[in-house]
């Protein structure tokens, strides 16, 4: 691993007060991503991934709701960002890596075993088809996964009242923002609010969106797998 990557990981470990094992585990994760034959993510070079993936995942620790979480469901975990990174950073939390694509689940299982991440579980399921996860989490995370109304519909049933959704997204179009607010109101969630963050120096603009579960999820949710994307909740009804 290049010295500059190790130095950057040491900087991140200091910034976020990570456990002693974290830099080595994060370095190992970057190596696994680089070596994975089916290109689990488009950014594979550790020199790029240390910021694009690792720093971008860790920046959520600036939010108390993430730092203090103990039961986390990471949706669409893919190559492990942010789920595996948060599992490394928060060893006292239990992280469910929810992923429906079999080859990505295989990668996640291999990474959990090889890196010795004892607090992460791979869940080979869609978020809408995981009954064991209902109302069982104080935090749901999702990075570049779906539009606001879809994210809120995925997250709400998995959260306990008082729990939070934290989503990594670019700034939405006004129509998506309106649909997200309407979906949140329908599903007992607060309207998503943006928090500007700076995971690394060259970031122009990065936002995390936070929505809280304020009441129980209404009957009828989650809808059948695929319906949230096919027929998302909209402001127009």
Q: Round to whole Å and give the CA distance between 22 and 24.
A: 6
Which of 33, 31, 29 has its CA nearest to residue 58?
29
Q: Round to whole Å and give the CA distance between 71 and 85.
A: 15
Exposure b/e, 40-52, CB count within 10 A at least 16 = b: bbebbebeebbbb
Give per-residue pLDDT as tens, 142-196.
998 999 999 999 999 999 999 999 999 988 899 999 999 999 999 999 999 999 9
Whether the pLDDT of residue 222 is over 60: the answer is yes
Please give the distance of CA 122 from its chain centroid, rounded to a whole number: 13
User: What's the rounded mean pLDDT across residues 18-35?
Assistant: 97
The reported pLDDT for the residue numbered 64 is 97
At 1, is the pLDDT very low, low, confident or very high (cuts 50, 70, 90)? low
95-98: which pairs have CB atoms within 8 A and are 24 or more residues apart? 95/119, 95/120, 95/121, 96/72, 96/120, 96/121, 96/123, 96/133, 96/137, 97/121, 97/122, 97/123, 98/73, 98/74, 98/123, 98/125, 98/126, 98/127, 98/130, 98/133
Whether the pLDDT of residue 39 is over 80: the answer is no
Distances (CA, A) of 56 to 29, 53, 85, 200: 14, 5, 10, 8
The reported pLDDT for the residue numbered 156 is 98
Whether the pLDDT of residue 43 is over 90: the answer is no
Query: pLDDT above 70 covers what percent of the chain?
Result: 98
Query: pLDDT above 90 covers what percent of the chain?
Result: 89
The reported pLDDT for the residue numbered 108 is 98
The reported pLDDT for the residue numbered 106 is 96
Instruction: Tell me the domains of the chain and their CATH numbers.
Output: 3-230 (3.40.50.150)
Burial of 64 (0-12, 13-18, 19+ CB in 10 A): exposed
The reported pLDDT for the residue numbered 37 is 86
Give per-residue pLDDT as tens, 199-211.
988 776 789 999 9
At 105, is the pLDDT very low, low, confident or very high (cuts 50, 70, 90)? very high
What's the pTM value of the predicted model, to 2 decimals? 0.96
- The SS3 assignment for 7 reads helix
- Taking the CA atoms of residue 31, residue 33, residue 38 and residue 39 in that order, the dihedral angle to the nearest 10 degrees is -120
DSSP one-letter code for 189: B
Whether the pLDDT of residue 67 is over 80: the answer is yes
Of 84 and 206, the structure prediction assigns the larger pLDDT to: 84
Q: Round to whole Å and give the CA distance between 13 and 19.
A: 8
Q: Which two tokens stand for residue 223?
A: 């809808």
């Amino acid at each position: 691993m290049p010295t500059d990557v190790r130095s950057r990981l040491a900087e991140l470990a200091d910034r976020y007060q990570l456990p002693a094992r974290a830099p080595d585990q994060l370095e190992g994760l970057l190596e696994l991503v680089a070596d994975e034959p089916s290109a689990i993510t488009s950014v594979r070079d550790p020199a790029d991934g240390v910021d694009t993936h690792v720093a971008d995942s860790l920046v959520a620790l600036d939010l108390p709701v993430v730092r203090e979480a103990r039961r986390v469901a990471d949706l669409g975990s893919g190559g492990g960002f942010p789920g595996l990174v948060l599992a490394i950073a928060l060893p006292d939390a239990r992280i469910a890596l929810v992923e429906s694509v079999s080859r990505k689940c295989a990668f996640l299982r291999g990474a959990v075993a090889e890196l010795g991440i004892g607090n992460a579980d791979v869940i080979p399921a869609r978020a809408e088809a995981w009954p064991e996860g209902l109302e069982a989490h104080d935090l749901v995370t999702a990075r570049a996964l779906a539009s606001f109304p879809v994210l809120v519909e995925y997250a709400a049933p998995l959260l306990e009242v008082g729990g939070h959704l934290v989503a990594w997204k670019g700034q939405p179009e006004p129509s998506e923002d309106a649909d997200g607010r309407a979906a949140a109101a329908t599903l007992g969630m607060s309207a998503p609010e943006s928090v500007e963050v700076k995971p690394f120096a060259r970031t122009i603009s990065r936002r995390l969106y936070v929505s809280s579960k304020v009441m129980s999820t209404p009957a009828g949710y989650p809808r059948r797998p695929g319906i949230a994307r096919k027929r998302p909740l909209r402001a127009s009804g």
